[in-house]
Amino acid sequence: MGGSATGRYVLRRLAQAVVVLWAAYTVSFLVLDALPGDPVTAMASAGMDSGAVDQEQLDQLRAEYGYDDPMLVRYLDHLGSAATGDLGDSVATGRPVVDTIAQALPPTLQLAGAALALAVLLGGGLALVATYSRRRWLRQVLLSLPGLGVSVPTFWVGLVLVQVLSFQLRLFPAFGNSGPSSLVLPAVTLAIPTGALVAQVLAKSLLTALDEPYVQTARAKGAGRARVHLSHALRNASLPALTVVGLLAGQLLANSVVVETVFSRDGLGRVTAGAVGSQDLPLVQGVVVLGALVFVLVNLAVDLVYPLLDRRIVVAGGRRSLA
């Protein structure tokens, strides 16, 4: 696999990403367009409480924002500006969508990044300890934890953590964006469902890998259990877990809506919640496109890591394949 081949592969994947973004934009446009009501109505009923806004004014506003054009014209118009990086202005605040998102993104990226790191560490650690343990009961207890972690709702975990660690023990602040300590509780809350899935998948594939003939070869060499576990089984078992991590990146963004609301943190999640509540269609659409972008990039990164773990996987020839 030469460097230029990998370069070509990345270029092709980026081109595919453009197509995915276009599709995400188009689908979200169509869905949002099909919803009853339009931003102008929402704006009129929310913003101007000075009494009745008459039909004439509404029509005027619609004309101003272009909402009275036929759908196709609006679509092409918006798509054209989106291609140049202009996703329109927020209906609620009047600020450009791109600016609003750019401002809300850093705290959310911090949160999601911290949560992802925690999820991989805790989930991976749990899976390793559980499959390594020779005590049956311990293994079974540990292996039942991920199922629990997946099934408890995020907001409930958040509320319990706030109640115990913040209000009673006063270890961490419960709300806001002030410094690293305010990141702990939301990151833990966000990491639990993700980490649980990582643990489930990794534990399952570790158990499968430990039954493989090459593990027997390693044991026949006289290798100890720790060596067999970490040096032989883990590397082979990490591929499915890595795939899951890629898929979960999207889920982290979605869950951050709940977590940021529970912990009153500023960030993309709250911006999204607010935009949906006020039918701020341009902003909602901007978030959708951003979500698609993050998903595409994370999965590209995952695909580029695969061949480092397993040399049978070749990325250069246009698609991933087992050689």
Partner 1 sequence: MSAPLLSIRDLSVSYTTRTGPVPAVRGVDLDVAPGEVVALVGESGSGKSTTAHAVVGLLPRGGRVDGGEIRFGAHDLATAGDRELRAVRGARIGLVPQDPTVSLNPTKRIGAQVAEVLRVHGLAGRREAAARVVELLERAGLSDPAVRARQYPHELSGGMRQRVLIAIAIAAGPELLIADEPTSALDVTVQRRILDHLDTLTRELGTAVLLVTHDLGVAADRAQRIAVMSGGRIVEVGPTEQVLSDPRDPYTRRLLAAAPSLAVARRSPAAVAPALREADPLVEVEGLGKDYPLPRGSGPRVLHAVRDVSFTVERGRTLALVGESGSGKSTTARMVLRLTEPTTGRIRFDGEDVTAARGADLRRLRRRAQLVYQNPYASLDPRFSIEEVVTEPLRAFGIGDRASRAARARELLDRVSLPATVLGRQPAELSGGQRQRVAIARALALSPELVVCDEPVSALDVSVQAQVLELLAELQEDTGVSYLFISHDLAVVRQVAHTVVVMRGGEVVESGTTEALFTSPTHDYTRELLAAIPGATAPTAGGTR
Residues in touch with partner 1 (CB under 8 A):
211-214, 216-225, 227, 232, 235-236, 309-312, 317, 323
Q: CB 229 → partner 1: shortest distance, Å? A: 13
DSSP 89: B
DSSP 176: S
CB nearer to partner 1: give 77 or 310.
310
Q: Where does residue 152 fall: left (phi above 0), alpha (psi -120 to 50 degrees), or beta otherwise?
A: beta
Query: Cα 257 vs. chain centroid, distance in angstroms?
Result: 11
Select from 292, 302, 283 the least CA-distant residue to 254.
292
CB nearer to partner 1: give 81 or 231.
231
Q: CB 2 → partner 1: shortest distance, Å? A: 10
Select from 114, 29, 13 the least CA-distant residue to 285.
29
User: What are the E-state strand segments in 19-144?
Assistant: none
Are the CB atoms for 20 and 299 separated by under 8 Å? no
How far is 245 from 194, CA to CA, in rounded Å?
8
Q: What are phi and psi of 322, to 5 degrees?
A: -85, 120
Largest CA distance in the chain: 86
Other Cβ atoms less than 10 A from the Cβ of 296: the count is 20
CB nearer to partner 1: give 74 or 219.
219
CB nearer to partner 1: give 23 or 309.
309
CB nearer to partner 1: give 21 or 234.
234
Q: What are phi and psi of 119, to 5 degrees?
A: -60, -45
Concatenated DSSP letters of 204-248 = HHHHHHHTSHHHHHHHHTT--HHHIIIIIIHHHHHHHHHHHHHHH
Q: CB 245 → partner 1: shortest distance, Å? A: 18
Q: CB 225 → partner 1: shortest distance, Å? A: 8
CB nearer to partner 1: give 32 or 223.
223
Q: CB 136 → partner 1: shortest distance, Å? A: 13
Q: CB 298 → partner 1: shortest distance, Å? A: 23
Q: CB 224 → partner 1: shortest distance, Å? A: 6
* Planar angle of CA 84, 89, 93, nearest 5 degrees: 155
Q: 3-state class of 191 per DSSP?
A: helix
Q: CB 134 → partner 1: shortest distance, Å? A: 10
Q: CB 237 → partner 1: shortest distance, Å? A: 10
CB nearer to partner 1: give 21 or 210.
210
Query: Cα 38 vs. chain centroid, distance in angstroms?
Result: 28
CB nearer to partner 1: give 209 or 249.
209
Concatenated DSSP letters of 131-160 = HH---HHHHHHHHHHHHHHHHS-HHHHHHH
CB nearer to partner 1: give 4 or 178.
4
